[in-house]
Amino acid sequence: MTDQGTILKRYVRAEPVYRRDVIKPDGRNLSLYGYAPHKASEIAGDALDQLTGAHLRYHPLRGTWSIYAAARNQRTFKPSQAENPLAPSQTGKPLTEIPFSDFELCVFDNRFPSLSADAHEGEVTGLTTAPAKGACEVIVYTPDATGSLADLNQAQRRLLVEAWIDRYENLFAKGCAFVLPFENRGEAVGVTLSHPHGQIYGFPFIPDPQARALAAFEAGYDLAGKLTDWKNRYGVLEAGGLMAYAPPFARFPYEVWISAFARHSGPWSYSETESDGFAYLLGEVTRRYDALFGAETPYMLSLHAAPYGQDGAFQFSAQFYPLLRGPGRVKYLASVEQATGVFTVDVMPEAAAQALRGVK
Protein backbone atom coordinates (compact mmCIF):
# COMPACT_ATOMS: atom_id res chain seq x y z
CA MET A 1 0.00 0.00 0.00
CA THR A 2 1.21 3.52 -0.80
CA ASP A 3 0.51 6.72 1.09
CA GLN A 4 -2.32 7.33 -1.36
CA GLY A 5 -4.00 4.05 -0.45
CA THR A 6 -5.03 0.86 -2.18
CA ILE A 7 -7.25 0.96 -5.26
CA LEU A 8 -10.05 -1.58 -5.00
CA LYS A 9 -10.17 -3.75 -8.14
CA ARG A 10 -13.32 -5.85 -7.93
CA TYR A 11 -14.07 -5.03 -11.58
CA VAL A 12 -13.41 -2.14 -13.96
CA ARG A 13 -15.16 1.00 -12.77
CA ALA A 14 -15.50 4.40 -14.41
CA GLU A 15 -13.78 5.86 -11.35
CA PRO A 16 -11.65 3.91 -8.88
CA VAL A 17 -12.38 3.49 -5.19
CA TYR A 18 -9.45 3.98 -2.82
CA ARG A 19 -8.88 2.51 0.64
CA ARG A 20 -6.38 3.95 3.12
CA ASP A 21 -5.56 1.73 6.13
CA VAL A 22 -4.50 3.32 9.41
CA ILE A 23 -3.70 2.01 12.89
CA LYS A 24 -5.49 4.22 15.40
CA PRO A 25 -3.57 5.54 18.44
CA ASP A 26 -5.24 2.85 20.58
CA GLY A 27 -4.12 0.07 18.19
CA ARG A 28 -7.44 -0.50 16.43
CA ASN A 29 -7.73 -0.73 12.65
CA LEU A 30 -9.35 2.03 10.63
CA SER A 31 -9.95 2.14 6.86
CA LEU A 32 -10.90 5.25 4.89
CA TYR A 33 -12.76 4.73 1.60
CA GLY A 34 -13.25 7.31 -1.10
CA TYR A 35 -13.24 8.22 -4.77
CA ALA A 36 -10.05 10.21 -4.19
CA PRO A 37 -6.94 9.20 -2.23
CA HIS A 38 -7.22 10.25 1.41
CA LYS A 39 -4.14 12.35 2.20
CA ALA A 40 -5.09 14.27 5.35
CA SER A 41 -2.70 14.08 8.28
CA GLU A 42 -3.82 12.27 11.41
CA ILE A 43 -4.82 14.53 14.28
CA ALA A 44 -2.92 13.86 17.50
CA GLY A 45 -4.75 13.32 20.79
CA ASP A 46 -5.46 10.96 23.65
CA ALA A 47 -6.38 7.44 22.55
CA LEU A 48 -9.69 5.76 23.37
CA ASP A 49 -9.35 2.38 25.06
CA GLN A 50 -11.00 -0.69 23.51
CA LEU A 51 -13.05 -2.72 25.98
CA THR A 52 -13.07 -6.45 25.18
CA GLY A 53 -13.68 -9.69 27.06
CA ALA A 54 -16.64 -11.44 25.42
CA HIS A 55 -17.24 -15.19 25.17
CA LEU A 56 -19.88 -17.55 23.76
CA ARG A 57 -22.27 -19.74 25.74
CA TYR A 58 -24.28 -22.57 24.20
CA HIS A 59 -28.03 -22.82 24.92
CA PRO A 60 -28.68 -26.56 25.37
CA LEU A 61 -32.47 -26.31 24.83
CA ARG A 62 -32.42 -24.08 21.75
CA GLY A 63 -29.24 -25.41 20.20
CA THR A 64 -27.87 -21.91 19.61
CA TRP A 65 -24.98 -19.72 20.76
CA SER A 66 -25.24 -16.36 22.54
CA ILE A 67 -22.53 -13.74 23.03
CA TYR A 68 -21.80 -12.53 26.56
CA ALA A 69 -20.06 -9.15 26.47
CA ALA A 70 -20.35 -7.27 29.75
CA ALA A 71 -18.09 -4.43 28.58
CA ARG A 72 -20.72 -3.38 26.02
CA ASN A 73 -22.85 -2.07 28.87
CA GLN A 74 -20.40 0.85 29.03
CA ARG A 75 -20.85 1.87 25.37
CA THR A 76 -21.62 5.45 24.44
CA PHE A 77 -25.27 6.36 25.05
CA LYS A 78 -26.98 9.22 23.19
CA PRO A 79 -24.15 11.77 23.27
CA SER A 80 -24.64 15.43 22.40
CA GLN A 81 -23.64 16.60 18.93
CA ALA A 82 -20.55 18.18 20.49
CA GLU A 83 -19.52 14.74 21.80
CA ASN A 84 -20.46 12.75 18.69
CA PRO A 85 -17.84 9.94 18.50
CA LEU A 86 -18.50 9.33 14.77
CA ALA A 87 -17.81 12.88 13.63
CA PRO A 88 -14.48 13.96 12.13
CA SER A 89 -11.97 15.04 14.78
CA GLN A 90 -11.02 18.68 15.20
CA THR A 91 -7.58 19.99 16.13
CA GLY A 92 -7.38 21.03 19.77
CA LYS A 93 -10.45 19.04 20.82
CA PRO A 94 -10.76 15.49 22.21
CA LEU A 95 -10.34 12.82 19.54
CA THR A 96 -13.41 11.16 18.14
CA GLU A 97 -13.29 7.61 16.75
CA ILE A 98 -12.00 9.10 13.48
CA PRO A 99 -8.74 11.06 13.99
CA PHE A 100 -9.06 13.04 10.76
CA SER A 101 -10.70 16.36 9.93
CA ASP A 102 -12.61 14.91 6.97
CA PHE A 103 -13.37 11.68 5.17
CA GLU A 104 -15.80 10.19 2.64
CA LEU A 105 -16.59 6.85 4.33
CA CYS A 106 -14.85 5.20 7.25
CA VAL A 107 -14.70 1.72 8.83
CA PHE A 108 -13.06 1.00 12.17
CA ASP A 109 -12.90 -1.72 14.82
CA ASN A 110 -15.70 -1.29 17.35
CA ARG A 111 -14.53 0.06 20.70
CA PHE A 112 -17.06 -2.19 22.47
CA PRO A 113 -16.93 -5.41 20.45
CA SER A 114 -19.05 -8.50 20.93
CA LEU A 115 -16.56 -10.48 18.82
CA SER A 116 -12.82 -9.91 18.58
CA ALA A 117 -9.70 -11.62 17.26
CA ASP A 118 -8.12 -11.97 20.72
CA ALA A 119 -11.18 -13.33 22.54
CA HIS A 120 -10.64 -16.00 25.20
CA GLU A 121 -12.94 -18.80 26.32
CA GLY A 122 -15.16 -18.03 29.29
CA GLU A 123 -14.96 -20.39 32.24
CA VAL A 124 -18.51 -21.28 33.33
CA THR A 125 -18.96 -24.52 35.22
CA GLY A 126 -21.49 -26.87 33.65
CA LEU A 127 -21.93 -24.92 30.40
CA THR A 128 -20.45 -25.31 26.94
CA THR A 129 -18.51 -22.15 26.13
CA ALA A 130 -16.22 -20.91 23.37
CA PRO A 131 -14.11 -17.83 22.62
CA ALA A 132 -16.10 -15.04 20.95
CA LYS A 133 -13.65 -14.95 18.06
CA GLY A 134 -14.45 -12.75 15.11
CA ALA A 135 -14.78 -9.08 14.33
CA CYS A 136 -17.06 -6.13 15.05
CA GLU A 137 -16.68 -3.06 12.87
CA VAL A 138 -18.45 0.28 12.64
CA ILE A 139 -19.06 1.72 9.16
CA VAL A 140 -19.69 5.48 9.07
CA TYR A 141 -21.50 6.46 5.89
CA THR A 142 -20.69 10.17 5.84
CA PRO A 143 -19.00 12.89 7.90
CA ASP A 144 -22.40 14.62 8.19
CA ALA A 145 -24.00 14.10 11.60
CA THR A 146 -27.55 13.71 10.30
CA GLY A 147 -29.20 11.93 7.39
CA SER A 148 -30.05 8.45 6.17
CA LEU A 149 -29.55 6.10 3.23
CA ALA A 150 -32.21 8.19 1.48
CA ASP A 151 -30.29 11.42 2.08
CA LEU A 152 -26.99 10.07 0.74
CA ASN A 153 -26.53 10.69 -2.96
CA GLN A 154 -26.16 7.81 -5.39
CA ALA A 155 -22.35 8.10 -5.47
CA GLN A 156 -22.21 7.87 -1.68
CA ARG A 157 -24.42 4.79 -1.65
CA ARG A 158 -22.26 3.19 -4.35
CA LEU A 159 -19.20 3.85 -2.22
CA LEU A 160 -20.99 2.14 0.67
CA VAL A 161 -21.67 -0.93 -1.49
CA GLU A 162 -18.00 -1.11 -2.49
CA ALA A 163 -16.89 -0.75 1.12
CA TRP A 164 -19.26 -3.55 2.21
CA ILE A 165 -17.83 -5.84 -0.48
CA ASP A 166 -14.27 -5.04 0.58
CA ARG A 167 -15.13 -5.80 4.21
CA TYR A 168 -16.61 -9.16 3.20
CA GLU A 169 -13.31 -10.04 1.52
CA ASN A 170 -11.25 -8.70 4.42
CA LEU A 171 -13.16 -10.52 7.17
CA PHE A 172 -13.41 -13.79 5.26
CA ALA A 173 -9.63 -13.62 4.82
CA LYS A 174 -9.29 -13.26 8.61
CA GLY A 175 -11.15 -16.54 9.18
CA CYS A 176 -14.75 -15.40 9.76
CA ALA A 177 -17.33 -18.03 8.84
CA PHE A 178 -20.21 -15.61 8.28
CA VAL A 179 -20.21 -11.84 7.78
CA LEU A 180 -23.28 -9.67 8.46
CA PRO A 181 -23.32 -5.97 7.54
CA PHE A 182 -26.33 -4.34 9.19
CA GLU A 183 -27.89 -1.06 10.22
CA ASN A 184 -30.17 -0.24 13.15
CA ARG A 185 -32.16 2.94 12.65
CA GLY A 186 -34.25 4.81 15.19
CA GLU A 187 -34.66 4.86 18.95
CA ALA A 188 -37.44 2.24 18.79
CA VAL A 189 -34.77 -0.22 17.61
CA GLY A 190 -32.42 0.87 20.39
CA VAL A 191 -30.07 3.16 18.48
CA THR A 192 -27.88 5.28 20.77
CA LEU A 193 -25.86 7.13 18.09
CA SER A 194 -27.84 9.10 15.51
CA HIS A 195 -24.92 9.74 13.12
CA PRO A 196 -25.60 7.78 9.86
CA HIS A 197 -23.75 4.50 10.30
CA GLY A 198 -24.00 0.74 10.35
CA GLN A 199 -22.04 -2.17 11.74
CA ILE A 200 -20.42 -5.33 10.43
CA TYR A 201 -20.10 -8.54 12.45
CA GLY A 202 -17.80 -11.36 11.46
CA PHE A 203 -18.92 -14.59 13.19
CA PRO A 204 -16.79 -17.66 13.96
CA PHE A 205 -19.78 -19.87 13.08
CA ILE A 206 -22.79 -19.77 10.76
CA PRO A 207 -25.80 -18.52 12.77
CA ASP A 208 -28.89 -20.72 12.74
CA PRO A 209 -31.11 -18.63 10.37
CA GLN A 210 -28.35 -18.45 7.77
CA ALA A 211 -27.53 -22.14 8.17
CA ARG A 212 -31.20 -22.95 7.54
CA ALA A 213 -31.29 -20.63 4.53
CA LEU A 214 -28.16 -22.30 3.14
CA ALA A 215 -29.77 -25.72 3.54
CA ALA A 216 -32.92 -24.50 1.73
CA PHE A 217 -30.90 -23.09 -1.17
CA GLU A 218 -28.85 -26.28 -1.42
CA ALA A 219 -32.12 -28.26 -1.50
CA GLY A 220 -33.20 -26.26 -4.56
CA TYR A 221 -35.11 -23.21 -3.32
CA ASP A 222 -34.67 -20.56 -6.04
CA LEU A 223 -35.29 -17.06 -4.69
CA ALA A 224 -34.25 -15.34 -7.91
CA GLY A 225 -36.58 -17.57 -9.86
CA LYS A 226 -39.54 -16.46 -7.71
CA LEU A 227 -39.15 -12.74 -8.39
CA THR A 228 -40.83 -12.70 -11.80
CA ASP A 229 -43.83 -14.54 -10.35
CA TRP A 230 -43.98 -12.22 -7.34
CA LYS A 231 -43.40 -8.82 -8.92
CA ASN A 232 -47.00 -7.92 -9.86
CA ARG A 233 -48.40 -8.67 -6.41
CA TYR A 234 -45.42 -8.21 -4.10
CA GLY A 235 -43.04 -5.96 -6.05
CA VAL A 236 -42.39 -2.39 -4.89
CA LEU A 237 -39.99 -1.16 -7.58
CA GLU A 238 -37.13 -2.32 -9.81
CA ALA A 239 -33.74 -0.87 -10.73
CA GLY A 240 -30.65 -2.23 -12.50
CA GLY A 241 -31.79 -5.85 -12.60
CA LEU A 242 -32.90 -5.93 -8.95
CA MET A 243 -36.29 -5.71 -7.26
CA ALA A 244 -37.44 -4.38 -3.91
CA TYR A 245 -40.41 -6.44 -2.77
CA ALA A 246 -42.47 -7.50 0.24
CA PRO A 247 -41.79 -11.25 0.49
CA PRO A 248 -45.03 -13.26 0.78
CA PHE A 249 -43.63 -14.93 3.92
CA ALA A 250 -42.67 -11.61 5.61
CA ARG A 251 -42.63 -11.63 9.42
CA PHE A 252 -42.69 -7.84 9.95
CA PRO A 253 -45.38 -5.44 8.70
CA TYR A 254 -43.96 -3.64 5.64
CA GLU A 255 -40.89 -5.90 5.53
CA VAL A 256 -38.98 -5.38 2.26
CA TRP A 257 -36.21 -7.40 0.64
CA ILE A 258 -33.92 -6.44 -2.23
CA SER A 259 -32.76 -9.22 -4.57
CA ALA A 260 -31.42 -9.56 -8.10
CA PHE A 261 -33.24 -11.38 -10.89
CA ALA A 262 -29.91 -13.12 -11.59
CA ARG A 263 -28.48 -15.51 -9.01
CA HIS A 264 -25.75 -14.02 -6.79
CA SER A 265 -24.27 -15.45 -3.61
CA GLY A 266 -23.21 -11.98 -2.51
CA PRO A 267 -22.94 -8.42 -3.79
CA TRP A 268 -19.31 -9.11 -4.71
CA SER A 269 -20.49 -10.70 -7.97
CA TYR A 270 -22.82 -7.86 -9.00
CA SER A 271 -22.19 -6.14 -12.30
CA GLU A 272 -21.76 -2.37 -12.36
CA THR A 273 -25.40 -1.99 -13.40
CA GLU A 274 -26.61 -4.27 -10.60
CA SER A 275 -24.50 -2.44 -8.02
CA ASP A 276 -26.00 0.86 -9.19
CA GLY A 277 -29.48 -0.64 -8.89
CA PHE A 278 -28.76 -2.00 -5.42
CA ALA A 279 -27.46 1.35 -4.20
CA TYR A 280 -30.48 3.17 -5.62
CA LEU A 281 -32.99 0.77 -4.05
CA LEU A 282 -31.38 1.06 -0.60
CA GLY A 283 -32.09 4.78 -0.64
CA GLU A 284 -35.49 4.53 -2.29
CA VAL A 285 -36.86 1.93 0.15
CA THR A 286 -35.78 4.14 3.06
CA ARG A 287 -37.36 7.20 1.43
CA ARG A 288 -40.63 5.39 0.82
CA TYR A 289 -40.82 4.18 4.41
CA ASP A 290 -40.44 7.73 5.70
CA ALA A 291 -42.97 9.07 3.22
CA LEU A 292 -45.49 6.32 3.98
CA PHE A 293 -45.34 6.79 7.75
CA GLY A 294 -44.78 10.55 7.72
CA ALA A 295 -41.71 10.32 9.96
CA GLU A 296 -38.30 8.71 10.24
CA THR A 297 -39.02 4.99 10.18
CA PRO A 298 -37.20 2.79 12.69
CA TYR A 299 -35.92 -0.36 11.02
CA MET A 300 -33.33 -3.10 11.06
CA LEU A 301 -31.46 -3.68 7.78
CA SER A 302 -29.24 -6.71 7.25
CA LEU A 303 -27.32 -8.13 4.27
CA HIS A 304 -27.62 -11.91 3.88
CA ALA A 305 -24.77 -13.25 1.74
CA ALA A 306 -23.23 -16.70 1.50
CA PRO A 307 -21.06 -17.91 4.38
CA TYR A 308 -17.37 -18.32 3.67
CA GLY A 309 -16.70 -20.96 1.01
CA GLN A 310 -20.40 -21.45 0.25
CA ASP A 311 -20.70 -19.50 -3.01
CA GLY A 312 -22.97 -21.36 -5.38
CA ALA A 313 -26.43 -22.26 -4.13
CA PHE A 314 -26.84 -19.38 -1.66
CA GLN A 315 -28.74 -16.35 -3.02
CA PHE A 316 -28.07 -12.85 -1.63
CA SER A 317 -30.74 -10.51 -0.27
CA ALA A 318 -30.80 -7.28 1.71
CA GLN A 319 -33.65 -7.34 4.22
CA PHE A 320 -35.45 -4.39 5.85
CA TYR A 321 -37.43 -5.08 9.03
CA PRO A 322 -39.35 -1.88 9.91
CA LEU A 323 -40.79 -1.58 13.42
CA LEU A 324 -44.00 0.24 12.46
CA ARG A 325 -47.37 -1.29 11.59
CA GLY A 326 -48.84 2.15 10.86
CA PRO A 327 -48.04 5.85 11.44
CA GLY A 328 -46.99 6.19 15.07
CA ARG A 329 -47.76 2.52 15.80
CA VAL A 330 -44.78 0.42 16.86
CA LYS A 331 -44.70 -3.31 16.13
CA TYR A 332 -43.44 -4.77 19.40
CA LEU A 333 -41.84 -8.20 19.48
CA ALA A 334 -43.74 -9.40 22.53
CA SER A 335 -44.07 -12.67 24.43
CA VAL A 336 -45.26 -14.98 21.65
CA GLU A 337 -42.60 -13.91 19.15
CA GLN A 338 -39.80 -14.00 21.72
CA ALA A 339 -40.83 -17.30 23.28
CA THR A 340 -41.61 -19.29 20.15
CA GLY A 341 -40.11 -17.46 17.18
CA VAL A 342 -43.62 -17.53 15.66
CA PHE A 343 -44.50 -14.04 14.42
CA THR A 344 -47.99 -12.55 14.18
CA VAL A 345 -48.05 -10.25 11.14
CA ASP A 346 -50.50 -7.33 11.27
CA VAL A 347 -50.23 -6.23 7.63
CA MET A 348 -50.50 -8.56 4.66
CA PRO A 349 -47.34 -8.47 2.49
CA GLU A 350 -49.39 -7.83 -0.65
CA ALA A 351 -51.03 -4.82 1.04
CA ALA A 352 -47.64 -3.55 2.22
CA ALA A 353 -46.23 -3.83 -1.32
CA GLN A 354 -49.20 -1.96 -2.74
CA ALA A 355 -48.86 0.84 -0.18
CA LEU A 356 -45.12 1.26 -0.79
CA ARG A 357 -45.62 1.05 -4.56
CA GLY A 358 -48.02 3.96 -4.36
CA VAL A 359 -45.64 6.29 -2.51
CA LYS A 360 -44.58 9.18 -4.73
Query: Residues with catalytic annotation?
Result: 197
Give CA–CA dist 286/280, Å, rounded: 10
Answer whether 195's CB lies under 8 Å from 140's CB. Answer: yes
Q: DSSP letter at 162? A: H
Give CA–CA dist 277/256, Å, rounded: 15
3-state secondary structure (DSSP) of residue 274? helix
3-state secondary structure (DSSP) of residue 233? helix
Give CA–CA dist 308/179, Å, rounded: 8
In this structure, the strands spanning 29-34 and 129-131 are unpaired
Helices 272-293 and 154-173 cross at an angle (nearest 10°) of: 110
Beta bridge partners of 329: 326
Q: What are phi and psi of 54, to 5 degrees?
A: -85, 160
Q: Dihedral sign, CA of 154, 157, 163, 168?
A: negative
Q: DSSP letter at 173? A: H
Q: Print burial letters for 9-42: b (CB count within 10 Å at least 16), e (below 16).
A: ebeeeeebbbbbebebeeebebbbbbbebbeeeb
3-state secondary structure (DSSP) of residue 341? coil
Q: Is 126 left (phi over 0), alpha (psi -120 to 50) or beta?
A: left
Answer whether 214's CB lies under 8 Å from 306's CB. Answer: yes
